[in-house]
Structure 1
Amino acid sequence: MTIDMTMAANKSADMKATLLDYVAAFNAADAERVAALFADDATVEDPVGGPVIAGRESILAFYRHATSLGARLEVVAAPRGSHGNAAALCFAVYARMQGQPVRIDVTDVMTFGADGRITGMRAFWGPDDVHPQ
């Protein structure tokens, strides 16, 4: 198997840029901008093991709610690309749960379509990734 490293590097860079755009749009509380990064038939599973949200309209509703809560995302490591159609980002979510400030350590893995839009987002975090602040 031969991998075209230039093509893979360009695609990887584009996916990484989208991950950072996702964080910027979320932190701007711009749910429409976040949802525009997703394909029409995309899915979101946040957290992994929870309900899967399907379709851009449902994803928009999810992010309208999420951004209305005042949460803030902070990237804690550079995005990671791949030789395929996926990229990952580790970040901390600063939010309130049950009235208390918390930090949630998250790794999002996103898959991308040929047009560069996100086709799937899976947020990996569990109960032991939630830390009181």
Structure 2
Amino acid sequence: MPQEDVIKTVMKQYIDRFNQDDVEGVLSLFGEEATVEDPVGSPAVEGKSAIAEFYKKVVNGNTRIRLEGPIRGSHGNSGAMALQITTSAEGKTISIPVIEVMTFDEQGSIASMKAYWGPGDMVIK
């Protein structure tokens, strides 16, 4: 099981690489059999190839992540963080407060990412 500092470091790298529009860097943090459920309740994206397609759409030079508090570890193989996602579409700015929970494999790679947010959380201006 990865140590808490490894989990927090990888989660911080996820934010940094996302904000640098580094799709390959983001993907390098995931294990081969990882899953992404964004938002929770939608069908999970399974496997690195499918995850690559997902992130190629959202790491687009237009979307940014801001950490809203400290990254939290656990007594196990997971961590959580509160984020503010901001993007724009059709001339409008969209902000979404999100809680992301990630689990990690033995190598310290992301095994799963779940993003908790709902339609009522979106603010469109």
TM-score higher than 0.5 here?
Answer: yes
Secondary structure of 1:70's counterpart equals coil
Q: 1:114 aligns with which of 82, 85, 106?
A: 106
Structure 1 stretches of 5 or more lacking a match? Answer: 1-7
Structure 2 residue aligned with 1:4: none
Calculate the TM-score normalised by the size of structure 2. 0.94
Structure 1 residue aligned with 2:116: 124
Structure 2 stretches of 5 or more lacking a match? Answer: none
Structure 2 residue aligned with 1:3: none
1:51 aligned partner, one-letter code: P
Distance in 2 (alpha carbons) for counterparts of 1:69 and 1:46 = 19
Percent identity over the alignment? 36
By relative contact order (CA 8 Å, sep 6+), the higher-ranking structure is 2
Aligned pair count reads 125
* Structure 1 or 2: more helix by fraction: 1
Question: Which of structures 1 and 2 has the bigger CA Rg?
Answer: 1
Distance in 1 (alpha carbons) for counterparts of 2:70 and 2:120 = 23
Calculate the TM-score normalised by the size of structure 1. 0.88
Distance in 2 (alpha carbons) for counterparts of 1:132 and 1:41 = 34
CA apart distance, 1:124? 0.3
Paired residues for 1:1-133 under 5 Å = 11-68=3-60, 70-97=62-89, 99-133=91-125
CA apart distance, 1:69? 5.6
Distance in 2 (alpha carbons) for counterparts of 1:33 and 1:91 = 19
Q: Over residues 18-38 of structure 1, what are the superposed CA-to-partner deviations in whole Å (9 max), with x where a residue is unaligned? A: 111000010011111101100
Secondary structure of 2:59's counterpart equals helix
